A and B are shown apart, each in its own frame.
Chain A
Amino acid sequence: MTPRRKRLYAVLAILAGVSAAVVLAVVAFEDNLLYFYNPTQVMAGEAPMGRSFRVGGMVTQGSVQRSAGSLEVRFVVTDFRHSIIVRYDGLLPDLFREGQGIIAHGRLTESGEFRADEVLAKHDENYMPPEVAESLQAPAESGG
């Protein structure tokens, strides 16, 4: 093999590798992008049915209900304009509390409730997920 030939093959191999990587990335991306919506957007029908997404906001005071002795829990997440009922069956994070910001990951059900498979809470006292903070500020700024 001449050096020129060798270089050609090398370039072709790299091109093949890069395109494989790009295809892989695009396909994997499509399936794994998670969109975030606040309750207002969910109520307005912007959130997809039959696909996972994340919803975030404040847990409404006094909304957490448990069937005693079971993991089933139900609470309301609000952005102070609209609210959505979230159902979850599992361990809530340590920092989950009423009146605090959370993000839930899951799907919308037929009845318009949100079935969470994961609930994330803020990580310390002074911290709120940026999405939640922003979506809580938005109504005040827009005056609506």
Chain B
Amino acid sequence: MIPEIGHFALILALLLAIAQTLFGLGGAARRHAGWMAAGRSAVAGQFVFTALAFGALTWAFVQRDFSVLYVATNSNSELPLLYRIAAVWGGHEGSLLLWALALAGWSLAVTAFSRSLEAPFRSRVIGILGFISIGFLLFMIATSNPFQRLVPPAPDGNDLNPLLQDFALAVHPPILYLGYVGFAVAFSFACATLLEGRLDAGWARWTRPWTLAAWMFLTVGIALGSWWAYYELGWGGWWFWDPVENASFMPWLAGTALIHSLAVTEKRGLFKSWTLLLAVTAFSLSLLGTFLVRSGVLISVHAFATDPARGVFVLAFLATVVLGALLLYAWRAPRLKSAAGFEISSRESFLLFNNAFLVAALGLILLGTLYPLFMDALRLGKISVGPPYFELVFLVPMLPLLALLGVGMHAAWKRGTLAGKRRRLVLLALSALAAALVAGAAVYGELRPLTTIGFMLALWVIGSAILELVQRLRGRQALSGAVLGMVIAHFGLGLAALGITGVQSFRIEKDVALGVGETATIAGYDFRLAALRDVRGPNFVGVEADVLVAKDGRAVTTLRPQKRLYHSGGNPMTEAGIEVGAARDLFAALGEDLGQGRWSLRIQYKPLIRYIWLGALLIALGGGVAAFDRRYRRAAEARESAAATAGASG
């Protein structure tokens, strides 16, 4: 019964989304207050029913209702409760439902916190959000109904893919989706603006916190995914340039460009149409990512859908939204002119460079991701683009970006001077270079040009962020949330760059065959396979190894990698043993029994890898701090009270 209620709720949510779109857009066009109010109510209704559907599916998982096909496919009676809940979004249908719920949630939040906006504009935003909801709800009901019954019911389920039975991956999709879908808000604001054909200064101020919040979630989501891949896929890599990773990274790059461009639009009224275009791009790339992942066109761990009808639907929807928005842009954007000028070393031009480099990296990654698909579609051969391509085209724009970032943070708006900061910055750059040389030579005993550049830029950005903070504090300047957020995020970016440089330069990975008592050595660490034993978990059995790690004869740690066999399927799974450290990770993964009492093992030495994720979290934290800058709330309150006064006197 519960699944039918869920299915019904989903249909009601679709009808309400249709109402939300028609009343929202129609009400704004006809300036009909009643219709606009109806559009707003529809948002709440849509959220309630989508949440109800989501709750019904969760209930089916919790109750182990294997008469529901999706539940039987993605869970098992032995699966622990936490993973039964995570299994709700462990497959295609459920993750779409999560997508729809996230969108409904953002729509509700926008509706609740937008009272200060002019009614027609607000109504248009709601209408456009409704249109996106229609697409996803229709997609789900037509091609991917999570509530489909299984007759007769299965005695037990198939189990959740063991790769997904993990805490980081349980929370990765919801957070990633909040980010992905959050760009829909900036997108709707942009489209509503284009529909109105005018953009006032308040627009950017309004869009910024929403975009920052979405971008923050996306950052955390990507970092979680990378962390999970590192320890769970068993190979110790932290980024693979897999098309699905690119699918989440491209909206992130566009979003990063957008938050920087929004700053210029808010502060100086410049880059207006460019900002709008970025807002459209960021969400279009989120949709493209959804298409890539959900249509099954990719060779990837994430691509579990292979039904062509689904691919066609998502592609059609993607085309409608993206082309519609771009046509609207081409038609209306020329009306929006930016009047003011700026000097070459002002903050505006540094942010312009920031955008240029980010978009260049984005474009080249997009090319590498889509090119194989085009080649395949045109039957020109099956190819793939290797990670070295992505590494190169990402690195080349990022080096100047980091170099300029350190200066740009200190540049003033509009004016072309660095007002006495020049000497300090030169000093900082020189110290960064010296420190990079010392780090390379003394710590790792090797000097390579690219490594030195990497360390230098990372330290330069970190130092520059600290310098900015110190100067503001010393000058007793007010430290707004936006500035503090910027400093934190840039500090995090420097840390991440430090980690990436360290890992990419000095990591060591080695596959070895060891018998009990045998030792293999990397980077001065002796890995000794000390013991092997059987282990047993709630829904798996396995083998665990004790790998004693020692350096210069002194014990460092014991790693306990496992090889698991889940009851549900015959696939073995690797659980890596990892020793976390501030300077390096030590990593061991168990391969297979090679015979004669020997096992294959992958042992790794990963210097500074933790700073990648720590940096990413700080970047996200910076976004969050900036999103909660008091001036956004003050602006909203001021306009709200102004509107109230106007309403009272009118």
- The interface of chain A, by Cβ under 8 A from chain B, is 3, 6, 14, 17, 21, 24-25, 28-29, 31-36, 54, 66, 68-71, 89-92, 94-95, 123-127, 129-131
Contact = CB atoms under 8 A, between A and B. Distances in A.
B381 A35 contact: yes
B385 A70 contact: no
B594 A24 contact: no
B328 interface: no
B648 interface: no
A36 B383 contact: yes
Contact of A94 (B368, B393, B396, B572): B572
Given A24-B392, A24-B393, A25-B364, A69 B515 contact: yes
Contact of B384 (A21, A24, A36, A70): A36
A133 to B, nearest CB: 9
A31 B388 CA distance: 9
20 contacts: A24-B393, A24-B396, A25-B367, A28-B392, A31-B388, A34-B384, A66-B594, A66-B595, A69-B515, A69-B598, A89-B511, A90-B600, A91-B592, A94-B234, A94-B573, A94-B574, A123-B163, A123-B300, A126-B304, A131-B299
Contacts of A25: 364, 367, 393
B324 interface: no
Contacts of A71: 511-513, 594, 600
Count chain B CB atoms within 10 A of each CB in A3, A69, A91, A123 and give the residue with the most.
Answer: A91
Contacts of B371: 29
B569 A125 contact: yes
Nearest to B356: A17
Interface residues of B, number: 48
A97 B571 CA distance: 9
Interface of B: 161, 163, 234, 299-301, 304, 341, 356, 360, 363-364, 367-368, 371, 381-389, 392-393, 396-397, 511-513, 515, 569, 571-574, 589, 591-592, 594-598, 600-602
Nearest to A46: B381
Contacts of A91: 511, 589, 591-592, 600-602
Nearest to A56: B382
Count chain B CB atoms within 10 A of each CB in A3, A21, A66 and give the residue with the most.
Answer: A21
A109 B596 CA distance: 30
A95 B596 CA distance: 22
A11 B568 CA distance: 61
A112 to B, nearest CB: 22
Contacts of B592: 91-92
A28 B602 CA distance: 30
Chain A facing B: main interface SS: mixed
Contacts of A54: 384
A14 B352 CA distance: 11
Contacts of A28: 388-389, 392-393
Contact of A29 (B356, B389, B397, B512): B389
Contacts of A68: 594-596
Contacts of A89: 511
A95 B572 CA distance: 7
Count chain B CB atoms within 10 A of each CB in A6, A36, A90, A94 and give the residue with the most.
Answer: A94
Nearest to B596: A69
B294 to A, nearest CB: 15
B233 to A, nearest CB: 9
Contacts of A21: 360, 363-364, 393, 397
B566 to A, nearest CB: 11
Contacts of B161: 124
B513 A24 contact: no
Contacts of A29: 368, 371, 385, 389
Contacts of B392: 24, 28
A135 to B, nearest CB: 9
Nearest to A35: B383
A36 B385 CA distance: 11
Count chain A CB atoms within 10 A of each CB in B515, B569, B597, B600 and give the residue with the most.
Answer: B600
Contact of B386 (A32, A94, A123, A124): A32
Contacts of A35: 381-383
A121 B379 CA distance: 24
Contacts of B513: 69-71
Nearest to A91: B591
B396 A130 contact: no
A131 B600 contact: no
A25 B390 CA distance: 9
A125 B571 contact: yes
B409 to A, nearest CB: 22
A89 B512 CA distance: 10
Return the 8 tightest CB-CB contacts between A and B, nearest first. A32-B389, A69-B596, A36-B382, A68-B595, A32-B386, A91-B591, A90-B511, A69-B598
A24 B572 contact: no
Contacts of B595: 66, 68-69
A24 B385 CA distance: 14
Nearest to B361: A21
A129 B131 CA distance: 35
Nearest to B569: A125
A91 B360 CA distance: 37
B364 A69 contact: no
A101 to B, nearest CB: 11
B594 to A, nearest CB: 5
Contacts of A129: 299
A8 to B, nearest CB: 14
A68 B596 CA distance: 6
B126 to A, nearest CB: 37
Contacts of A92: 591-592, 600
A6 B356 CA distance: 17
B594 A14 contact: no
A70 B360 CA distance: 46
A4 B594 CA distance: 72
A7 to B, nearest CB: 10
B301 A123 contact: yes
Contacts of A130: 299
Contact of A14 (B356, B515, B573, B589): B356
Contacts of A36: 381-384
A125 B598 CA distance: 28
A94 B382 CA distance: 25
B356 A69 contact: no
Contacts of B515: 69
Nearest to B159: A125
A43 B488 CA distance: 57
A24 B300 CA distance: 27
